[in-house]
Amino acid sequence: MTQIASELSFSQQLNQNPKSPAEREAILADPGFGDYFTDHTAVVDFKVDADGQGGWSNARIEPYGPIQMDPAAAVLHYGQEIFEGMKAYRHADGSIWTFRAEANAARLNASARRLALPELPPETFLESLRQLVQADQDWVPSRDGDALYLRPFMIATEAFLGVRPAREVSYRVIASPAGNYFGGELKPVSIWLTTSFARAGEGGTGEAKCGGNYAASLAAQMEAEANGCKQVLFLDPHNDNAVEELGGMNIFFVFKDGTLVTPELNGHILHGITRSSVMQLAADRGLKVQERKITIDEWRSGVASGEITEVFACGTAAVITPIGELKTAEGTIASPAQGIGEVTAAIREQLVGIQTGVIEDLHGWLTRLA
């Protein structure tokens, strides 16, 4: 379903009862992750008739608040929903920037095609971010390590119970000040290996960023937490137990010969924007980057032999996080590096430096929002 409209202009209905400066500052002092939300939201409506006539309209900024929705809305019954995750960073001069927004726009539309939702014009996607951040720029943290997390999403709002793509859809963006995803200082995390659950399957929605994938990971996540772990790792049991990804992050292995390995994209694995950025920065540093199959047996033997020297995970929320140990029902694969590995630390420092404006952006990844 593709309706590409001309660029839309956003109207503004500002919140008449925003958080006070004191309330906002108290939140920014300890934002957590996804616990608090700004005063406004960006919204664009979509509607077509049975012949496909219509499209996107009524782009606006309005006060943050509950969504009024019919109980028969398609998203509530058939899960027709997609989302993105990205951050806005305040630079030293007070300006506000986001990272690789064009890639998020492209991935949103790739997810839309898989979930039979309408594609959103990339310029409308970018303008929705710009309009929301400009309305709520006082919410963008200035404390080191913090950012404003942006959550664009699209839901099917048409009221009907037939099984077909919805003809009425709502695209929205909300924003939440965010601290460290895992809390506190950066340190290695423990990961649980699940053999009871799979994240995605052949021909499924694994490479789409949709809520159902994350809902399907929650039972495994509870298993991980019961075993004292922060995240869960999924394998492909039909492909020699090949490593795929974590519940919400991609994974990398550093080999002692300077090779950086990450599982190849196979239709099951999310096209992580942080993942592709890490690969580019690693190549810039002279590392050999490989996208290939890596099995749990290779992980275990590589750590034991010293061939694998570091393991880390990456994603928008946590950026880059070293993996301290992989716990399994059969034992533990300990981290090959004590603390944060040299390559992990160097790539993370460079990536965060680009995002926050401390290091020059040589790839044109930054987009100014305010």
CA 187 to CA 72: how far, in whole Å? 45
Q: What is the pLDDT of residue 183?
A: 64
Q: Indicate the residue type of 291.
A: E
- The pair of structure tokens assigned to 367 is 């987009």
CA 163 to CA 160: how far, in whole Å? 9
E strand spans, 230-284: 231-236, 242-246, 250-255, 259-262
Cα distances (Å, whole numbers) of residue 343 to 254, 286, 294, 337, 365: 8, 12, 19, 10, 21
Task: From 340, 241, 224, select the one nearest 298 (Cα to Cα).
Answer: 241
pLDDT in tens, the chain (370 residues): 444 445 799 999 999 999 999 999 999 999 999 999 999 999 999 999 999 999 999 999 999 999 999 999 999 999 999 999 999 999 999 999 999 999 999 999 999 999 999 999 999 999 999 999 999 999 999 998 899 999 999 999 999 999 999 999 999 999 999 987 766 667 899 999 999 998 888 899 999 999 999 999 999 999 999 999 989 999 999 999 999 999 989 999 999 999 999 999 999 899 999 999 999 999 999 999 999 999 999 999 999 999 999 999 999 988 999 999 999 998 999 887 778 999 999 999 999 999 999 999 999 999 999 9
The CB density around residue 171, as the number of other CB atoms within 10 Å, is 24
Q: What is the pLDDT of residue 219?
A: 95
Task: From 99, 146, 141, 84, select the one nearest 354 (Cα to Cα).
Answer: 99
Q: What is the pLDDT of residue 187?
A: 86
- The pair of structure tokens assigned to 274 is 């942080």
- Given a contact cutoff of 8 angstroms between Cβ atoms, the answer to whether 244 and 234 are in contact is yes
- The pair of structure tokens assigned to 342 is 């040299």
The CB density around residue 17, as the number of other CB atoms within 10 Å, is 7
137-178 pLDDT, tens per residue? Answer: 999 999 988 999 999 999 999 999 999 999 999 999 999 999
Q: Indicate the residue type of 178.
A: A
Q: Which residues pair with 262 in a beta bridge?
A: 291
- Given a contact cutoff of 8 angstroms between Cβ atoms, the answer to whether 34 and 176 are in contact is yes
Q: What is the pLDDT of residue 205?
A: 94
Q: What is the pLDDT of residue 184?
A: 61
Three-state SS string over 166-212 comes to CCEEEEEEEEEEECCCCCCCCCCEEEEECCCCCCCCCCCCCCCCCHH
- Given a contact cutoff of 8 angstroms between Cβ atoms, the answer to whether 135 and 39 are in contact is yes
- In the chain, what is the straight-line distance between the N-terminal and C-terminal CA atoms, in Å? 32
3-state secondary structure of 155: strand
